[in-house]
Amino acid sequence: MTDEASWMASLAAKTGKTIDEWIPIARATGVEKHSELVARLKADHGLTHGYANTIALKARASDAGSMDGAELVEQMFAGPRAAVRPIYDRVMAQAAGLGGDVELAPKKGYMSLRRKKQFALVQPSTKERVDLGLSLKGEPPAGRLEPAGSWNAMVTHRVRLSSEAEVDAEVAAWLRAAYDRAG
């Protein structure tokens, strides 16, 4: 099952409605501003931020939400970046084992991993490297765990991954710590 298919199945299981049922509900609110629509969906229907955000994007057919998540992932790894897809797949396999509440939010250039808030992102940065961004506020940088700096303001740390073997127990522990802090 693709990331998008898993997400859609989760949406239907947890809310009792498919994305095709949610889109007209979102459009019927008459709310046009994205952030207001997200807030309305959360308030009126008790949705998590991740579900409300994606429903709003798809209802408005804007940004990455107008494209299928699997298509976005395929675009991320088109051309020369195809060589780093196995690194991404290994990180995503680690993320899948964190818990049933991990929400995948594919964007045009990266995959956002959310719980109650974003805790990580996975980005094919070059044809030879995937960057794993982690929200680990207060964690001192050490070794491969470096400050995110200007790379991405949505996370505090970055790990540069150039091979599947680098997605090891240390990376798994950092990913788990970021996940736990987002709960």
pLDDT digits over 136-156, tens only? Answer: 999 999 999 999 998 888 899
Both tokens assigned to 94: 């680690």
> What global pTM score does this model have?
0.65
Residue 68's pLDDT band (cuts 50, 70, 90): low
Handedness of CA 4, 8, 11, 14 (dihedral sign): negative
User: What mean pLDDT do residues 157-181 have?
Assistant: 97
pLDDT confidence of residue 98: 92
Residue 1 has pLDDT above 60, yes or no: no
DSSP assignment of 158-172 equals EEEE-SGGGSSHHHH
Query: What integer is the mean pLDDT of 105-110?
Result: 85
Q: Is the pLDDT of residue 116 over 90?
A: no
Instruction: For the chain, give every domain's residue range.
Output: 3-66, 70-181
Over 90: is that where the pLDDT of 57 sits?
no
Contact partners, residue 19, CB within 8 Å, separation at least 6: 8, 11, 12, 54, 55, 58
